[in-house]
């Protein structure tokens, strides 16, 4: 007969007790992640090593064919097009993240220094675009960028684009659409950091003779680094996989990573190859994040 035990917080637990406590507290989350994250990821990895069936679907045997194709050894001879697509998508994600950062940094400082009365309203304004669907917002840009619309005419008068022609499809249109879509993801985490900022550090730096740049660099930047990092990741990752905006505002002329993956699961019916592209893209992003995190941890400020 097991003896009746009473447990107190902080009490030394047996190994079994520790496990059961861990199971209760983090079990549901672990289970969730296991079923909806780890398992599908493992499936993608497994499928990427399988063979495409003649009519689609996946079959044995295991092969490296998909990865060979991805490296450029295709049906029509060697062609480095997939690395090009991958690089282009990463560049689009990076450009979007950098532009968002440039736009969000002053905005976050501005909102954080507003009086309490206006802060809520300002944050609501940042979030309001989310109330409409992404597709509607993107189509709206198509209309604004059409020939003879006021925005197009205004841009022409500034020397952007050719008079009488639409501003889309083009890189400018794609970047505009991307920045507008992802800006809130950068503003909100940045604002959270700026809001908590300890301004006395800036004053101290200034008192000690730092110029404005050095105040920002050594007293402010380390404080907003966590928000900046979170915002950068929140923008960079989905922007890299984004293909609706490049299609609609870029005229579907250039393939992005998302397009190529989607193509494998739709018209080409090649799940192994689609999975291989997704797996490699994921790997690259994870490596990038690891590097980013290492760099980030150096930017610590003394309390």
Partner 1 sequence: MKINTPLLNRHFCAVVFSAFLFAGAAQAEKSTLNLFIWSEYIDPQIVSAFEKQFDCKVNIDLYEDVDSMLAKIQGGGAGLYDVVVPSDNLVPVMMKQNLLAPLRHENIPNLKNLGEKFVSPAYDSKNRFTVAYQWGTVGLLARKTAGQPLPDSWACIFDPAKSAGSFMLIDSVRDQVGAALKYQGHSVNSIIPSELKAARDLCIAAKSRSVGFDGSVGVKNKILAKTAQVGIVYSGEGVRAMVDDTNTTYIIPKEGSVIWVDNLAVLAKAPHRDLAEKFLNFILDARIGAQLSAYTQFATPNQAARAFIKPLDLENHAIYPLPEVTDRLEFLNDLGFKLRLYDEVWTQIKTR
Assigned token pair, 112: 């954080």
Does residue 84 bind partner 1 (CB under 8 A)? yes
Interface residue with partner 1 among 47, 50, 70, 85 (CB under 8 A) is 85
Cβ closest to partner 1, residue 22 vs residue 266: 266
Interface residue with partner 1 among 252, 282, 290, 301 (CB under 8 A) is 252
Interface residue with partner 1 among 117, 253, 294, 298 (CB under 8 A) is 253
List all residues 6 or more positions away from 245 whose beta carbon is below 8 Å from its beta carbon. 134, 138, 174, 177, 178, 181
CA distance 126 to 180: 10
CA distance 90 to 87: 5
Does residue 260 bind partner 1 (CB under 8 A)? yes
Cβ closest to partner 1, residue 193 vs residue 264: 264
Beta bridge pairs of residue 78? 73
Point out which span in 72-80, 222-230, 231-239, 291-299 binds partner 1 (CB under 8 A): 72-80
Point out which span in 25-33, 84-92, 122-130, 156-164 binds partner 1 (CB under 8 A): 84-92
What residues numbered 52-71 form the site for partner 1, per CB under 8 A?
A: 52, 54-57
CA distance 256 to 277: 12
> Of 238, 244, 127, which is closest to residue 174 (Cα–Cα)?
244
Does residue 169 bind partner 1 (CB under 8 A)? yes
DSSP letters of 219-279?
IIHHHHHHHHHHHHHHHHHHHHH--HHHHHHHTT-S--HHHHHHHHHTTT--HHHHHHHHH
Does residue 245 bind partner 1 (CB under 8 A)? no
Binding residues for partner 1, rule: CB under 8 A, are 52, 54-57, 74-76, 79, 81-82, 84-85, 88, 146-147, 166, 169, 250-255, 259-260, 263-270, 273
């Amino acid at each position: 007969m097991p003896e009746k035990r009473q447990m107190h917080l902080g009490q030394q637990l047996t190994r079994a007790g520790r496990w059961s406590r861990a199971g209760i507290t983090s079990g549901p989350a672990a289970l969730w992640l296991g079923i909806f994250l780890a398992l599908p990821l493992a499936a993608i990895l497994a499928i990427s090593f399988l063979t495409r069936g003649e009519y689609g679907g996946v079959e044995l045997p295991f092969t490296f064919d998909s990865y060979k194709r991805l490296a450029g050894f295709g049906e029509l001879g060697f062609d480095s097009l997939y690395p090009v697509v991958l690089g282009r998508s990463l560049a689009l994600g990076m450009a979007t993240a950098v532009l968002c950062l440039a736009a969000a940094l002053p905005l976050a400082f501005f909102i954080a220094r507003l009086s309490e009365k206006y802060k809520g309203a300002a944050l609501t304004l940042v979030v309001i675009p989310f109330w409409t669907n992404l597709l509607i917002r993107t189509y709206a840009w198509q209309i604004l960028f059409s020939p003879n619309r006021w925005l197009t005419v205004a841009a022409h008068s500034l020397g952007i684009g050719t008079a009488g022609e639409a501003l889309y499809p083009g890189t400018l249109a794609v970047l505009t659409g991307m920045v507008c879509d992802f800006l809130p993801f950068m503003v909100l985490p940045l604002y959270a950091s700026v809001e908590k900022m300890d301004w006395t550090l800036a004053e101290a730096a200034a008192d000690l003779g730092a110029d404005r740049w050095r105040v920002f660099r050594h007293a402010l930047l380390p404080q907003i680094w966590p928000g900046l990092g979170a915002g950068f990741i929140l923008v960079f990752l989905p922007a890299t996989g984004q293909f609706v905006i490049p299609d609609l505002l870029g005229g579907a002329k250039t393939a992005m990573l998302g397009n190529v993956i989607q193509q494998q699961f739709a018209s080409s019916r090649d799940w192994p190859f689609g999975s291989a592209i997704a797996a490699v893209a994921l790997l690259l992003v994870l490596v990038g994040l690891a590097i980013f995190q290492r760099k980030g941890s150096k930017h610590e400020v003394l309390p």
